[in-house]
Structure formats: structure tokens, C-alpha cells
Structure 1
Amino acid sequence: MTSLTLFTPSGVVAKAENLKRAAKRLTQLGFEVGIDADALSKHQRFAGDDATRLAALHRIADAAPSVAMATRGGYGLTRLLDQLDWGRIAKSIEQGTRWVGYSDLTALQNGLIARHKGLSMWAGPLACDDFGRSEADGGVDEITRDCFLEAMSGALEAVGFREPSGGFDGLEARGRLWGGNLTVLCSLLGTPHWPKVKGGILFLEDINEHPYRVERMLLQLQQAGVIDNQAAVLLGDFSGAAKSPLDRGYGIKDAVAALRARTRTPVLTGLPFGHIRTKICLPVGGTVELYVQGREAILGWQSDPRLAHAAHHQHDEDCGDDCGHDHH
């Protein structure tokens, strides 16, 4: 049985029942689930003070479970980056631990990329948000669940999505996959935790950020030379912000157009990832290949050889149908 530990590295868990529900569902999916001793700790808006959360990360790294899944995001990992023993985190990955999460986990994932070539984590679901949601609120999304199970078994080798603009037919790109939450990523720029990736494939998402704020952060990355040095940029979901009467028709499409006008790097949209119910899993830090045919995009990679016993993923198109399309 695959061991899975739930931990809280950032914001406080507001409702313990969501964590318990997630643990029960993950157990029903075949995992041997453990909940870290401080997963429900509380200190101001954080899941325990900095020392508590730092100790939890080191404790999990030393235990090296098969899967280490964050309960939620929020904010808090930035406080820990300078004190984190990255060697212990890296050793756990070398021993087979798959760290999973998104949102504030962007800081941990990209801090690792900044220090260790060849190691990766998984951008994927969070326990409370994706597996702890009550049935009244919609329960567990089947595509999110199935992609997570395939990723953790080593069977997931590609995800597919529809690029709505249709302007990238024939595009092929290969590089290191990195990125995540746009706000968190921008906060790392200029620090020792910034990944200096050239020729990579950068993916980005955010929540509750007005399109003009999204545009400002995208242009910050472009003006810093980051966007121009990538093989491609993949944009996920950017929803949740209230419209302003000052917008006068301005929206996220205009923000994307402003970025495209300033770079030769292909900027694709439609990646089914972010603060949305239906999300894929992505190997952050791994080498991926991007292929576009018409409006259909495929992002593929080689599975972890340590999981070679798992069933081989049938075909790229299967994941495009089952794991890759954004249905919201």
C-alpha cells in the first residue's frame, strides 16, 4: 500500500472535518494515509508558528512517505525558505517521495528547482480543497482524482488541453517545466529561491487577482527577461476577481494580448490548472515536451523509472480526453 502523509505548510486549516473527510476518501482510494501531528496547528493565520511548520517539513522529508500532500495553500512557505534544509527535501525525493500541491506550494517547488537539477515535485491537488469538499459543495472532481491517481502510480505521462486561440498549430517545444502561482512566483524574483531557467516551459495561474494585476505581474516577468528566455508559456486559470466599472471591456484576454505583443515566446492559454475544481497534475522541475496540432495541445514527459512497475499510460490522447480538458 502506498503511504501518503497530509501536512499543512502554510495557512491554517479552517475546518478539521474537511481534512478528516479528505483522509477518509484518500484511504478509500487505496492510500495508507497519515496526518502530520501539526496539520491542524494554529498560530494567527498560519498552521502553527514558523518553527512548527519548518519542523513538519523536515519531519516529513526524513520519513520519506510515498506521497506528501499539502492540506491547503494560503501563505506561509515564503517565511520558511531561508531556513529550510533543502538537502533533506532533495533526499526524500531521491528516495521516492512525491510532494504534491499548488498555490503557496509554488515557493517550495521553485525553491527546489533553484537548487537541484533533475529533481521534481508535483503541481496537483490539495487535500482539503480537492478531496475534503463536502458532497453538498460538489464532492471530488473525477478528472482531478483520476489524474492524481495516475500521476502517483507513475502511469501519467501526458496531459492534453485545448488552446482556444488556435494560433500555435505545429508548435513543438522541449524544456524544464516550472512556475505555478503567478503572485508567489513573482515574490521569488531577485531572491536566492528564484529558478534561473532558460529555454523552459513556464506555467502560470492565479486567483482573485484583477486582470490588470495579472498583466502587471506578467509584464514584470517579461521586462526582467524571464518570459523572453522561455521556450513557451502556458497560462491556466485566472478567475475570481470582481469586475470594475473602470474596466470598460478590459479583461484577462487583453492582459494576455499585452504580453503577446511584447514577446516572441509562444504564450498559450487553456491549461486546465489553477484554483479550479478540474485540474491536472504536472511534474514541476521535470523535462517536458509540448506539441500543438490545431487547437489541441499535448504536454508529455517520461514517468519516474522508480515507478516502472505501474501500468504504462495507454496513449497521449487518452489523457487528453480523461485528464486534460478544462470543463468549467
Structure 2
Amino acid sequence: MSLIKKLNKGDKVSLIAPAGAIFNDELIKKSIQIINEFGYSVKLGKNINSKYGYLAGEDNKRVEDLIDAFKDKEVKAIFCIRGGYGTIRLLDKINYNVIKNNKKIFVGYSDITSLHASFSHLDFPTFHGPMFSYDIFKNNDNYNLLFEFLEGRIDKLNYALTPIREGNIEGKIVGGNLCVLCSLIGTQYQYKFKNSILFIEEINEEPYKIDRFLNQLYHSNILNEVEGIILGSFTNCNPEDKNRSFSFEYIYEYIKELTTKPIYFGLQSGHDYTNKLLPLNITAKIIDNKLIINKGEVFID
């Protein structure tokens, strides 16, 4: 596992749109303002304003921005401005050798899960964390925590969890958006799940769809390979018609039928008001119902 360099005030960071289009240019301006307020200059991806249907430009243009950000020696971190859809279309077009030779902070979530999964094969940490369009009008503490950790000012992340089935475990944190994870199953880009702690989150999916995704993980033997499971935020995942569906709480009970491993919920990470930073592809522990991530697993000292 390669450790990466932390951020320092005054560094230059890149803001890119590798997935869905930004249809409100004011969000880009606001994103730059927020990053500037934390003490960083911003280099925009050349195609961040592009629109190609629901995508932020054609696939080759979005790949170009991604690779340029990794190649640029002045850029110390890469922030994705939004998710949406589109990163799965890039996976076979990326020059992974460029990324392997230029490992640096990379932050995003939702559809960015595809990139986190594919980058995991290069053995460096990436970050499931707030973005600068979808999260702008949410909890400012999201950004405070993001930069405090990326600057190395927090020695340890310590998140309280609620057990569905208890157990002290250790493993590499993998995961992200549940739907996106399932779309990668059977491809060369999916995570290596053995000996990992699987984190999942979701938005706008009814309980029967969550049920289906979990069964896909089950029948793919993934739930048997992992050391344990953390359920993050499941936003707007209650049924539209409660008379014709289970409630979302049913999922907490049902998942126990699919695995004998420890299961936890309550990590406020995902598409909700609070979206806590979660380093991925690094070793973490769950001890006494707390997720513990040490800075030393992520950054060069």
C-alpha cells in the first residue's frame, strides 16, 4: 500500500467533473469560493463546463481532465464536483499507469464509486467524501472535517456505529454507492473484497431495490468474503406506498439472513445532510462499536 502526501495551505487543487454535467454554472463559482476560503487555489478541468446530454462532456474529454489532474505536478489533490452518472464509461479508457506514477488525494462519492473501485487496484488511498456541488448547501462541518483530515490535523477518525450484529474486526475499507458497486460485479474493476470491511450507501431506491442489490452481493459471494459490513446513509429509501412494501427498517433485519459477519449502521456518510469523510482502500478497525481509522494508514508522515 502506497501512502500519499497530505495537503498544505496554499496548495493548488483540481476540480473536475468526471460524471454528470453541471447545469448551473453558479455551482462552479461557489465551489471555487469554498475551496479558496479553506486556503487553496483551484485549477478547473478544461471540460468542467462541457455538456453532452446528461454527461459533463464526451468520454474522452472527461478522461482527459482526470488524467491531466493526476499528471499535473502542481496539483496536490483532485476533487470531483459531482456524481450523477458516467464514470463507468471511462474505466476502459483511463491510462492507469499515469495514476500509478502520480498518486495523490482523490475525493468524491456516489457515481465516483466506479473510480474508487478501479483505483483500488493501484494500492493507494482514495476518499469517499463531500463534493462541491451536491453538498454545497448542506452541513459546513462536512468540509471542515474533510480539510482537517486531508491536512493531517486529525490523528484518528473515530466514528460511533450502531450494531445489528456485533463483532470486533479489522480490514481494508472498500465500497461506496450500492448500485454502482453492483454494476461493477463481474468486471475487472470491482474491488477485491476478501478481508475487507464493506461500506455501502444509497439514495432514492425503494426497499425492494436495496433487497435486490444485497442479494446480488450475496449470490456473488461478496458478503461471505468481507470481514463485516457498514451501512451508511440511505437517503429517501422508504417506500412510496407503505401498504405494498416493507419499510426500510426491514432491510436491517433481512441483511442478517445473508451473512454471518458483523453488521453495523449509523455511519453518516453518503447523500445526506451530514456526509462524513471516509478514507477507502486503507486498513481500519471496528472495536467496541467504533470505526477507527488512523492517519498513519493514509499519509506519509
TM-score normalized by the length of structure 2: 0.91
1:232-263 CA-to-partner distances (Å, cap 9, x unmatched) read 10001112246233645612221231111221
1:121-200 equivalences under 5 Å are: 121-131=126-136, 133=137, 140-165=138-163, 167-168=165-166, 171-200=167-196
Aligned twin of 1:229: 225
On the 8 A contact 2:173/2:280 being kept in 1, the answer is yes
Structure 1: stretches of 5+ with no match in the other structure: 134-139, 309-328
The separation in 1 between residues aligned to 2:177 and 2:19, in whole angstroms, is 14
1:195-210 equivalences under 5 Å are: 195-210=191-206
Of residues 84, 87, 96, the one that matches 2:97 is: 87
Percent of aligned pairs with the same amino acid: 26
On the 8 A contact 2:283/2:297 being kept in 1, the answer is no
Cα distance, 1:305 vs structure 2: 7.0
**1:39 matches 2:45:** no
Aligned twin of 1:116: 122
Give the CA RMSD over aligned residues.
1.8
The separation in 2 between residues aligned to 1:23 and 1:249, in whole angstroms, is 43
1:273-292 CA-to-partner distances (Å, cap 9, x unmatched) read 01012111111111111212
The separation in 2 between residues aligned to 1:88 and 1:100, in whole angstroms, is 17
Aligned twin of 2:4: none
Q: What is the letter of the counterpart of residue 122 of structure 2?
A: H
SS in 1 for 2:102: helix
1:146-192 CA-to-partner distances (Å, cap 9, x unmatched) read 21012211233433344345752xx3211111000000000000011
Aligned twin of 2:80: 70
**1:218 matches 2:214:** yes
Aligned twin of 2:294: 301
SS in 2 for 1:235: strand
Aligned twin of 2:250: 254
The separation in 2 between residues aligned to 1:240 and 1:73, in whole angstroms, is 17
Cα distance, 1:307 vs structure 2: 5.0
Of residues 96, 102, 111, the one that matches 1:104 is: 111
SS in 2 for 1:289: strand
SS in 2 for 1:23: helix
1:294-319 CA-to-partner distances (Å, cap 9, x unmatched) read xxx232234367553xxxxxxxxxxx
- Give the total of aligned pairs: 291
1:62-84 CA-to-partner distances (Å, cap 9, x unmatched) read 11421100010011110010111
Q: What is the letter of the counterpart of residue 25 of structure 1?
A: I
Q: Which runs of 4+ in 1 moved over 6 A?
A: none
On the 8 A contact 1:155/1:303 being kept in 2, the answer is no
> Higher mean Cα deviation, 177-186 or 262-271?
262-271
User: How has the CA–CA distance of structure 1 residues 146 and 70 changed in structure 2, closer, same or farther, with 3 Å as cutoff?
Assistant: same
Cα distance, 1:196 vs structure 2: 2.1
User: How has the CA–CA distance of structure 1 residues 234 and 242 changed in structure 2, closer, same or farther, with 3 Å as cutoff?
Assistant: closer
1:125-145 CA-to-partner distances (Å, cap 9, x unmatched) read 1111223x3xxxxxx523212
The separation in 1 between residues aligned to 2:23 and 2:296, in whole angstroms, is 35
SS in 2 for 1:205: strand
